[in-house]
Amino acid sequence: MADEATNIVYLGNQGDPIEVIVATGTAIAKGTLMQLSSSPQTCTATSGQGQHFLGILAEEKTTTDGKTKVALITHCIADLTCGAAETMVLGAPVKTGAAANEVDVADDSGIAGGTEVVGIALETVAGNGTGAVLINVGKVR
């Protein structure tokens, strides 16, 4: 995969990680934006807009490691990639993008219920640029 989160600065208690379930035979790169996919607490990598963002994968997951649980970082500042035709605006919310691991400007549909919201842009960046985003999953925005 590409465009994983980089330069992660942990906030709270070492990023306030949560443990979630993943499929054992999947490979997922560290820094991947993760979505809630099914019950109970099962996650996959984000694959486009309309996803229920849950956190950033804390460590690499390989197909042969046998792991069924991984940690997601829920409170941090991370550099994320903006979608090709998008602009992250300083102080504005961003949501899961059209492509995996990318973010887009959060319009009204992305903010309703907060499910797609990834965080708040800490700088203005356009078209495939990379910029800092405050990730604070579960906090009212």
pLDDT in tens, 25-64: 899 999 999 998 877 888 999 887 777 889 999 999 999 9
- pTM of the full predicted structure? 0.90
pLDDT tens profile 102-120: 888 877 655 655 567 889 9
- The CATH number linked to 67 is 2.40.300.10
Closest CA to 96 of 40, 46, 138, 21: 46
DSSP state, residue 138: T
Are 43 and 21 a contacting pair, CB within 8 Å? Answer: yes
pLDDT higher than 80, residue 139: no
pLDDT at 98 over 90: no
Q: Judge if 67 and 89 occupy the same domain.
A: no
| Domain boundary, last residue among 73, 88, 121 | 73
Instruction: Tell me the C-alpha distance between 70 and 5, whole Å.
Output: 16
Average the pLDDT over 66-76 and give the result.
Answer: 94
